[in-house]
């Protein structure tokens, strides 16, 4: 009985991400003994753990959208560019005398259109997701540059600043991301939506023959991913009260994909874990914080993340199972 429990524990896909997160946190405590310290100032909670959650909020939000896209056998490389566009549109609107709420509404509406475009290329035209979204990944940065005319647009809007830097005891960015996680969990685990997404990921053609509208499902997850990227872009831009089309959301698609695969979601589609994605996003942000805390050069962070992505992809490769069973690759 004890042996079976031990095997079940080892087989739990969330065990290793959880242990990795705990190890990173303990390493930070060794380097900085006051790492777990929290304090309340002016009704707001501050501390290193709160900083990790706040800085990781955009990554978690984008990883949520990426999780559903990957669950349908897709991938979205354009989320960083979409985030940059959202910040550029909102800041440009505010800088020209517009209302912050209207600017954010226009930005999110544009993001939804961009998601529709990705979904159209993938589900209707049948273009490979990595190619379809690579188009917007490249062109999106150019669009953001055109909107800002190549300049860094700074704004002074208390309303807009609340999105990325405001507090309701906890940072508002954290509350938005956790609310999105709860809504997605409710929609996909308490309704048939999650099962439909998994069926499309396992076999889109069989799902279609069974009466599942796979094209609509794929279209929906790309729109959702673009909206998540847009809100994350608003957080990033709002936190610094500026829109930087060149650097806003740069490489965040890599962080989101890494968070998803670390959390146990299969790149082959068909199964996904929202709890795993949450753990993955926390690991990514804690890893970044650890690198900075330990005084390691920031360039090493990108190399390390790339190595981890390759390792996870190799572990998930089907050839591993064929070799184990003695079948030639």
Tell how strand 242-243 and strand 167-168 pair up: unpaired
Distance, in Å, from the CA atom of 76 to the CA atom of 324, rounded to the nearest integer, reads 32
Residue 257 and residue 137 in contact, taking contact as beta carbons nearer than 8 Å: no
User: 245: buried, middle or exposed (CB in 10 Å: 19+, 13-18, 0-12)?
Assistant: buried
Distance, in Å, from the CA atom of 102 to the CA atom of 104, rounded to the nearest integer, reads 5
For residue 198, pLDDT over 70 is answered with yes
Query: In the prediction, which pLDDT does 31 show?
Result: 86
Range of weakest confidence among 59-73, 124-138, 194-208, 226-240: 194-208
Average pLDDT over residues 44-64: 93
Average pLDDT over residues 209-218: 88
Query: In the prediction, which pLDDT does 313 show?
Result: 62
Query: In the prediction, which pLDDT does 7 show?
Result: 54
Q: Which residue has the higher pLDDT, 309 or 240?
A: 240
pTM exceeds 0.85 for this model: yes
Query: In the prediction, which pLDDT does 20 show?
Result: 82
Query: What does the pLDDT look like over 310-322, one tens digit per residue?
Result: 666 666 555 554 4
According to DSSP, residue 124 is labeled: I
For residue 180, pLDDT over 70 is answered with yes
Distance, in Å, from the CA atom of 111 to the CA atom of 63, rounded to the nearest integer, reads 16
Distance, in Å, from the CA atom of 196 to the CA atom of 219, rounded to the nearest integer, reads 13
Average pLDDT over residues 120-143: 93
Distance, in Å, from the CA atom of 51 to the CA atom of 139, rounded to the nearest integer, reads 32
In sequence order, the β-bridge partners of residue 39 are 46
Query: What does the pLDDT look like over 286-309, one tens digit per residue?
Result: 888 887 777 777 667 677 666 766
Confidence of residue 143 (pLDDT cuts 50, 70, 90): very high
Query: In the prediction, which pLDDT does 136 show?
Result: 93
For residue 69, pLDDT over 50 is answered with yes
Q: Which domains does the chain possess?
A: 45-310 (1.10.3470)
Distance, in Å, from the CA atom of 308 to the CA atom of 130, rounded to the nearest integer, reads 20
Confidence of residue 325 (pLDDT cuts 50, 70, 90): very low
Segments in the chain forming alpha helices (H) = 2-11, 15-31, 48-71, 79-95, 100-119, 129-148, 158-165, 172-189, 193-202, 204-209, 214-240, 252-262, 274-293, 298-316, 319-324
Query: In the prediction, which pLDDT does 129 show?
Result: 94
What's the mean per-residue pLDDT of the chain? 87
In sequence order, the β-bridge partners of residue 255 are none
Query: In the prediction, which pLDDT does 28 show?
Result: 87
Residue 59 and residue 66 in contact, taking contact as beta carbons nearer than 8 Å: no
Average pLDDT over residues 247-272: 88
Q: Which residue has the higher pLDDT, 192 or 299?
A: 192
Query: In the prediction, which pLDDT does 327 show?
Result: 44
């Amino acid at each position: 009985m004890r042996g079976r429990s031990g095997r079940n524990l080892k087989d739990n896909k969330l065990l290793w991400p959880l242990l990795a997160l705990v190890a990173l946190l303990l390493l930070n405590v060794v380097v900085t003994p006051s790492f777990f310290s929290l304090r309340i100032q002016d009704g707001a909670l501050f501390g290193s753990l709160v900083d990790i959650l706040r800085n990781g909020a955009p990554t978690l939000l984008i990883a949520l959208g990426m999780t559903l896209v990957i669950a349908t056998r897709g991938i979205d490389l354009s989320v960083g560019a979409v985030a940059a566009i959202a910040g550029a549109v909102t800041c440009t609107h505010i800088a020209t005398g517009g209302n912050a709420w209207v600017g954010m509404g226009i930005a999110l509406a544009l993001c939804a259109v961009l998601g529709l475009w990705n979904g159209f290329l993938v589900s209707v035209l049948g273009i490979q997701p990595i190619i379809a979204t690579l188009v917007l990944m490249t062109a999106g940065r150019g669009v953001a540059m055109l909107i800002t005319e190549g300049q860094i647009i700074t704004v002074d809007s208390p309303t807009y600043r609340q999105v990325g830097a405001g507090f309701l005891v906890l940072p508002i960015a954290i509350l938005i991301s956790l609310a999105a996680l709860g809504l997605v969990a409710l929609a996909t685990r308490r309704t048939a939506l999650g099962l439909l997404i998994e069926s499309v990921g396992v076999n889109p053609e069989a799902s279609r023959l069974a009466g599942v509208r796979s094209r609509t499902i794929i279209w929906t997850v790309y729109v959702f991913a673009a909206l998540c990227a847009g809100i994350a872009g608003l957080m990033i831009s709002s936190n610094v009260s500026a829109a930087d089309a060149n650097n806003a959301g740069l490489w965040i698609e890599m962080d989101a994909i890494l968070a998803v695969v670390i959390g146990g979601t299969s790149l082959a589609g068909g199964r996904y874990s929202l709890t795993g994605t949450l753990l993955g996003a926390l690991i990514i942000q804690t890893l970044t914080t650890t690198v900075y805390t330990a005084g390691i050069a920031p360039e090493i962070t990108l190399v390390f993340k790339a190595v981890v992505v390759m390792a996870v992809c190799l572990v998930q490769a089907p050839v591993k199972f064929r070799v184990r069973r003695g079948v030639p690759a």
